[in-house]
A and B are shown apart, each in its own frame.
Chain A
Amino acid sequence: MTETSLRWKSALLSAVLLLSFLAVWHVATLPEPSSTTVDAEYAALVGAAAATGGESAMPTPADVGAQLLAHLRDPFHERGTNDKGIGTQLLSSIARVMVGFGMAVLVAVPLGFVIGMSPMVYRALDPFIQVLKPISPLAWMPLALFIIKDSDASAIFVIFICAVWPMLVNTAFGVAGVRREWLNVARTLEVRPLRLAFKVVLPAAAPTIMTGMRISVGIAWLVIVAAEMLVGGTGIGYFVWNEWNNLSVANILCAILFIGLIGMALDLALARLGRLVAYKE
């Protein structure tokens, strides 16, 4: 099979899978007319459809589509604290992730460098890293709220703490694994330590460091939704929780779709960056 025909066939299969999923969804959520089982007074109160019990709270694909269009038409509206456009919510989530992730880069990459360069520091810090790494970032939330006393900063701290470990471990691994012969070349050329770090070790370890960043940003995006459900205010996590309270499943589904799309975009962006620093041996 040639490359182009392969691509066309896989695209076709994707489309078929999507359409059949939508079809099943559509059929499953069709309102089914049934015998009146509810009280007539209640029927007058809540409307005919609910009175018959025919319509479920689960929206049809068409409902969600309409809702999606509504969100896209006006993504940045602000009508009070509990009615902000989904674009605004997503942007504030992305901003939190970026700040927390950026702080994690500033800490993890230099520290990982030191750990990777020095077997002594590596051994000294290893027990701490091994214990701290598996802690769910949300477990830090109460402590963060208690110490920082600011919900927004606490959410950023949680992002920081979850993003720091993969980068730290990968940076240390990449730096420790720089090929002996490249270091020997630098040594015979009497390269100064700072130049060695930036011109030899950093480029050599860059692909491994970028992999760590890609893992980190993925985890950060997973964690921000849960963190925002806890701290509230703004953000896509808060939006999802708010719409759950509103029992607006269509809005929840829209948010889920957006969360997935943004997560994919972040991953692609870092993969692109990773390709810039990659090298072939």
Chain B
Amino acid sequence: MKPSFLKVEGLSKVYPGPRGEPDVAVFEDLHFSVEAGEFVCVLGHSGCGKTTILNILAGLDQPSAGVAIMAGRELSGPSLDCGVVFQGHALLPWLSALDNVAFAVRSRWPTWSRTEVLEHSRHYLRMVGLGEALDKKPSALSGGMKQRVGIARAFAIQPKMLLLDEPFGALDALTRGTIQDELLRIVKATGQTIFMITHDVDEAILLADRIVLMSNGPRARIVEYVEVTLPRERTRETLFKEPLYYPLRNHLIDFLVRRSGHYSGDAGGVAERPALVRPGLDTDTPFNPSADHGDLRNEPIGNHGAHRPGPSQTKAHLGRPGQDRRAQQGMDDGGAARADDTDGSAGEGGRRRARAA
């Protein structure tokens, strides 16, 4: 089996406690992986250390324990291999939009001529729809346009992996939607590997291939990996019409509202190896919609499950952590479960994306 593109093992972050008090662990013993070309979202409440994870991957922060290995090399310190889109756009206010991107491009390719740098920068700004605002200073741009420049800057250096730290958190809903669509389009075109932090359930469903669910901090853990079972060709308008949308959304919301708090403290109830969950496809997902229309939505999925060949029967236990071998594999390598699905059912395979291939 091909090793994962990014592999994080035993990652912990501990802050020394105030005088005399015990140390505070923000999160402990995190294991996860990201495949090349995959879009992974981390979902969790504030304070579970999401931004710290991203900063560690970006090399801006040091873990207390554990390693992150990207493309066979351990990540140590900031590098051009990881592009970062910051929560606050973090543009240099004395430079125009074009110069902000050009600053990054020049850092990536120091030997390029001025015209090459500017042409490359212009290309990426046009890609995010900012062809007209090249010479404006950030203060003259709206919040959404600033974040677009930040995205163009991160894509322009063509990093091996892109890290997004709640990039749309400060934007209004309309702008957020537009930029999410743009991001989807760009990701589709470039096949960029992306690791994104968010606390917005719909954003995660729209964008991600896989969602990592974290329990509340302190001593936050990864509780589950949720596979986004919707077809890759998603748009904001048609997303909620997908039969698998509501089971997935309900599962995530149920986690954030009810279950995420149960794992805090001594990490009771969290398995050493969290399971891969596929809401709507697994028969015993932790959330059971009790509303009458809920069953209707689940019906085609239930049928679907019945047609599965043998191996899918084990899915019945997927929700229970640590019992199922396939679930563990799924965690180690997100591609494994997907490959099974594709040959398991043509109908489903058709709806699923084939980008990883």
Contact = CB atoms under 8 A, between A and B. Distances in A.
A279 B58 CA distance: 28
Interface in A172-208: 181-182, 184-185, 187-191, 199-200, 203-204, 206
Please indicate which of the listed interface residues A190, A277, A279 has the most CB atoms of chain B within 10 Å of its own CB: A190
Contacts of A185: 84, 86, 90, 92, 104
Nearest to A200: B92
Contact of A190 (B79, B86, B92, B137): B79
Interface in A248-281: 277, 279-281
B93 A188 contact: no
B92 A203 contact: yes
Contacts of B92: 182, 185, 200, 203-204
Which of A181, A182, A204, A206 has the most C-beta atoms of chain B within 10 angstroms of its own C-beta? Answer: A181
B138 to A, nearest CB: 8
Contacts of B94: 203-204, 206, 277, 279
Contacts of B86: 181, 184-185
Nearest to A181: B90
A206 B92 CA distance: 13
B141 to A, nearest CB: 11
Interface string B137-148: 111000000000
Given A188-B83, A189-B157, A281 B108 contact: no
Given A184-B60, A280-B139, A190 B90 contact: no
Majority SS of interface residues in chain A? helix
Contact of B137 (A189, A200, A279): A279
Interface string B143-168: 00000000000000100000000000
A211 to B, nearest CB: 16
B46 interface: no
A281 B139 contact: yes
Contacts, number: 58
Interface string B101-113: 0011001100000
Interface in A95-143: none
Contacts of B80: 188-190
Nearest to B58: A188
Interface residues of B, number: 23
B93 A281 contact: yes
Given A181-B86, A279-B93, A188 B139 contact: no
Nearest to A206: B94
Contacts of A280: 93, 137, 139
A277 B86 CA distance: 25
A188 B108 contact: no
Nearest to B153: A185
A206 B138 CA distance: 18
Contacts of B108: 189
Nearest to B103: A199
B211 to A, nearest CB: 25
Nearest to A281: B93
B59 interface: yes
A208 to B, nearest CB: 13
Contact of A188 (B84, B137, B138): B84
Contacts of B53: none
B82 interface: yes
A140 B79 CA distance: 51
A104 B55 CA distance: 40
A187 B83 CA distance: 11
A182 B90 contact: yes
A279 B137 CA distance: 9
Nearest to A191: B107
Interface in B96-129: 103-104, 107-108
A199 B103 CA distance: 9
Nearest to A186: B107
B72 interface: no
Nearest to A207: B94
Contacts of A206: 94
Contacts of A277: 94
A184 B165 CA distance: 13
B347 interface: no
Nearest to A179: B90
A276 to B, nearest CB: 11
A203 to B, nearest CB: 5
B88 interface: yes
Contacts of A181: 86, 88, 90
B292 to A, nearest CB: 50
Nearest to B84: A188
B131 interface: no
B10 interface: no
A184 B90 contact: yes
Nearest to B55: A184
B218 to A, nearest CB: 23
A234 B198 CA distance: 70
Nearest to A189: B107
Interface of A: 181-182, 184-185, 187-191, 199-200, 203-204, 206, 277, 279-281
Given A184-B86, A280-B139, 14 more contacts: A184-B60, A184-B90, A187-B60, A188-B60, A188-B78, A189-B103, A189-B108, A189-B157, A190-B78, A203-B92, A204-B92, A206-B94, A279-B137, A281-B139
Leading 4 A-B pairs by shortest Cβ distance: A280-B139, A189-B107, A279-B94, A181-B90
9 contacts: A182-B90, A184-B78, A184-B86, A188-B60, A188-B79, A189-B108, A200-B92, A203-B92, A280-B93
